[in-house]
Chain A
Amino acid sequence: MWDYTDKVKEHFLHPRNVGEMKDANAIGETGSLNCGDALKLYLKVNENERIIEASFMTFGCASAVASSSALTEIIKGMTLDEAAKLTNDDISDYLGGLPKAKMHCSVMGQSALKKAIANFRGVQILEKPGQIVCECFDVTDLEIIDAVRANGLETTDDVTDYLKAGGGCGQCLDRIEQVIASAKVKG
Chain B
Amino acid sequence: MKIIYTDNNATTKTADEVIEEMMPYFGELYGNPSSMHTFGDRVGKKITQARKHVADLINADPEEIVFTSCGTESDNAAVHAAISAFPQKKHLITSTVEHPAIKNLFAHLAKEKGYKVTFVPVDRQGRLNTNVLYDSMSDDTALISLMWANNETGVIFPIEQVAKRANEQKILFHTDAVQATGKIEIDVKKTGVDMLSLSGHKIHAPKGIGVLYVKKGLKFSPLLIGGHQEGGRRGGTENTAFIIGLGKACQLAKENLGVMNTRVKELRDYLESQLLEKISGTSVNGELDNRLPNTLSIGFDAVEGESILLLLDRDGICASSGSACTSGSLDPSHVLMAMEVPFKSAHGTIRFSLSHYNTQDEMDAIVRNLVPTIEKLRAMSPFWKDGKMV
Chain A positions within 8 Å of B, measured between CB atoms, are 2, 9, 12-13, 15, 18-19, 29, 33-40, 56-62, 64-65, 100-102, 104, 135-136, 168-171
Chain B residues contacting A135 (CB-CB under 8 Å) are 330
A60 to B314, CA, bound (A): 18
A160 to B380, CA, bound (A): 33
Q: A57 and B328: CB pair below 8 A?
A: no
Q: A35 and B330: CB pair below 8 A?
A: yes
Chain A residues contacting B131 (CB-CB under 8 Å) are none
Q: B329 and A169: CB pair below 8 A?
A: yes
Whether, in the assembled complex, B124 has its beta carbon less than 8 Å from a beta carbon of chain A, the answer is no
Chain A residues contacting B302 (CB-CB under 8 Å) are 33, 59
Contact A58-B328, Cβ < 8 Å, known A33-B343, A36-B347: no
Number of A-B contacts (CB under 8 A): 77
Contact A40-B310, Cβ < 8 Å, known A59-B304, A102-B328: no
Q: B323 and A36: CB pair below 8 A?
A: yes
A150 to B223, CA, bound (A): 49
What distance in Å separates the Cβ of A18 from its nearest Cβ neighbour in chain B? 5
Q: A101 and B327: CB pair below 8 A?
A: yes
What distance in Å separates the Cβ of B112 from its nearest Cβ neighbour in chain A? 14
Contact A168-B328, Cβ < 8 Å, known A12-B310, A59-B304, A61-B307: yes
Q: B307 and A171: CB pair below 8 A?
A: no
Number of interface residues of B (CB under 8 A): 25
Cβ contact of B382, chosen from A38, A100, A168, A170, cutoff 8 A? A38
What distance in Å separates the Cβ of B284 from its nearest Cβ neighbour in chain A? 20
Whether, in the assembled complex, B326 has its beta carbon less than 8 Å from a beta carbon of chain A, the answer is yes
Chain A residues contacting B325 (CB-CB under 8 Å) are 36, 61
Q: B326 and A171: CB pair below 8 A?
A: no
* Interface CB pairs A-B, < 8 A, 8: A2-B310, A2-B326, A12-B307, A35-B330, A37-B330, A38-B383, A101-B326, A171-B328
Q: A58 and B381: CB pair below 8 A?
A: yes
A169 to B329, CA, bound (A): 7
Q: Which B255-312 residues have a C-beta within 8 angstroms of A?
A: 302-307, 310
Chain B residues contacting A12 (CB-CB under 8 Å) are 307, 310
Chain A residues contacting B90 (CB-CB under 8 Å) are none
Whether, in the assembled complex, B331 has its beta carbon less than 8 Å from a beta carbon of chain A, the answer is yes
What distance in Å separates the Cβ of A32 from its nearest Cβ neighbour in chain B? 8
Chain B residues contacting A61 (CB-CB under 8 Å) are 304-307, 325
Q: B380 and A65: CB pair below 8 A?
A: yes
Closest to B314 in A: A13
Q: A33 and B347: CB pair below 8 A?
A: yes
Q: B330 and A58: CB pair below 8 A?
A: no
Q: B310 and A57: CB pair below 8 A?
A: no
What distance in Å separates the Cβ of B349 from its nearest Cβ neighbour in chain A? 12
Q: A62 and B382: CB pair below 8 A?
A: no
Q: B330 and A39: CB pair below 8 A?
A: no
Q: A101 and B382: CB pair below 8 A?
A: no
A104 to B343, CA, bound (A): 19
Q: B304 and A37: CB pair below 8 A?
A: yes
A131 to B79, CA, bound (A): 38
Q: B380 and A34: CB pair below 8 A?
A: no
Closest to B332 in A: A36
Cβ contact of A34, chosen from B343, B381, B382, cutoff 8 A? B343
Chain A residues contacting B326 (CB-CB under 8 Å) are 2, 101
A15 to B328, CA, bound (A): 22
Closest to A59 in B: B381
Chain A residues contacting B314 (CB-CB under 8 Å) are 13
Contact A57-B381, Cβ < 8 Å, known A36-B331, A36-B347, A169-B328: yes
A101 to B330, CA, bound (A): 10
Whether, in the assembled complex, B225 has its beta carbon less than 8 Å from a beta carbon of chain A, the answer is no
What distance in Å separates the Cβ of A33 from its nearest Cβ neighbour in chain B? 5
A19 to B325, CA, bound (A): 24
A100 to B326, CA, bound (A): 11
A34 to B332, CA, bound (A): 9
